Amino acid sequence: MTHIGLNAHLLSGKAGYRTAGIHGYIYNTLMHLPGAASKDWRFTAMVGAENSAQFDGMTMRHSRWDTESPLRRILWEQFAQPGQLSEFDLYHALAFVAPLWLPAPMVVTIYDLSFLHYPQVLTPARRLYLRALTRLTCQRARRVIAISHSTAHDLTASLNIPADKIDVAAPGYDSEIFRVYPEQEVAEFRRAKNLPERFWLFIGTLEPRKNLPTLLEAYANLPQNERPPLVIGGGKGWQYDDIFATVERCNLQNDVQFLGFVPAEELPLWYNSAELFVYPSVFEGFGLPVLEAMACGTPVIVSDASSLPEVAGSAGMCIPPHDINAWTKALYTALTDAAWHEQARTRGLEDVKRYTWESTAQATLRSYECALNPP
């Protein structure tokens, strides 16, 4: 029986920023891997001391260390973990870095290279750790898993990882949660939140790479008496002052609402309630909010940058990220063209079927097979 060890210490049991993208990817990978595998596979996930997650067909091994702290997690990763790995036929580093000493062949998952392209998002020590060891881990790994074709291309361009060594295992979405909700339930949510019948929505951390000033300037160019309110959901990240300054400069105080952090359980109803989802980000490893919005039947307009055209497919309108005039035209189309709106909604609901967590698990298993049986 083939025994796979998975480093899942970034799996969080607490609400907050760590329960977002990477946590969700790890959680759903662990949930779906055993069901996608044959009976010849055995899985052990290594998690922090306080983590209470359980998955059918997955043995959970708890560290004696509390690895919520990045520094303690790094120390565990490099010094405590290696002694536990000799029993595994294959080791899967589920987030960027593996131990320097590793007694088993390895696969590593890379979500994006934002620590290279947007280094201000991390502390200097964490940035240095990722820059030094992600490249080395990818070079040593038998297979590298990227979560999008865009990230795969970036690995080759930025880290010189051979393209034929990289496998793509894109995320999925929970179709029981992110779906078209009954009109009555959506109407009740709008009333509870005191929302208008029409509004446009952005969900994401307030930070420079989300490119919100471009969206705000394009939105300000629309006729004031025609444009729906713009609702911006997401916690404050870093260097966000320019976002609020743009609202002031463009006199949008009465048109733009900031929600702050949006609880995960509310997200499907926010998507369902919105007339349009806009995502002008200049860099994403995947862009899960776009997929979730489409699954809820909401038309999307996104930047034509990094992975976003890949996710939006034929359904979304893809716009150069910094072209304010192009964004204004796209928003005006969304404002006035009912035929586009219906077409984008219909195509979006069809396109999202490409992405399932079962497919993620199957792609991951194929990567394991390639790692265990190299040419």
Sign of the CA dihedral with 68 first, then 71, 75, and 78 last? positive
Residue from 84, 83, 105, 75 nearest 93 by CA? 105
pLDDT for 155 beyond 60: yes
Residue in the structure block whose two tokens are 């609400």 = 15
Res 107: pLDDT = 98
pLDDT for 360 beyond 60: yes
pLDDT, mean of residues 54-67: 91
Res 13: pLDDT = 59
pLDDT, mean of residues 2-6: 97
Res 20: pLDDT = 54
Q: What's domain 2-172+356-372's superfamily in CATH?
A: Glycogen Phosphorylase B; (3.40.50.2000)
Across the strands, what pairs with 45?
Answer: 6, 60
pTM beyond 0.75, yes or no = yes
Give per-residue pLDDT as tens, 280-298: 999 999 999 999 999 999 9
pLDDT for 3 beyond 80: yes
pLDDT for 19 beyond 60: no
pLDDT for 121 beyond 80: no
Res 153: pLDDT = 98
The secondary element (H helix, E strand) that includes residue 355 is: none
pLDDT for 324 beyond 60: yes
pLDDT for 160 beyond 60: yes
Across the strands, what pairs with 187?
Answer: none
Assess whether the region 2-172+356-372 and the region 183-354 belong to the same CATH fold: yes
Domain ranges of the chain: 2-172+356-372, 183-354
pLDDT for 228 beyond 70: yes
Q: In the numeric block, which tokens belong to residue 13? A: 């049991």
CA distance 87 to 90: 9
CATH number for the region 183-354 comes to 3.40.50.2000
Give per-residue pLDDT as tens, 92-115: 999 999 999 998 999 999 999 999
Look at 263 and 124; give whichever has higher pLDDT. 263
Res 15: pLDDT = 42
Average pLDDT over the chain reads 93
Res 16: pLDDT = 40
Q: In the numeric block, which tokens belong to residue 331? A: 């928003």
Q: How confident is the model at residue 46 (pLDDT cuts 50, 70, 90)?
A: very high
pLDDT for 66 beyond 90: no
Q: Is-contact 68 50, C-beta < 8 A?
A: yes
Give per-residue pLDDT as tens, 127-149: 888 998 999 999 999 999 999 99
CA distance 299 to 312: 10
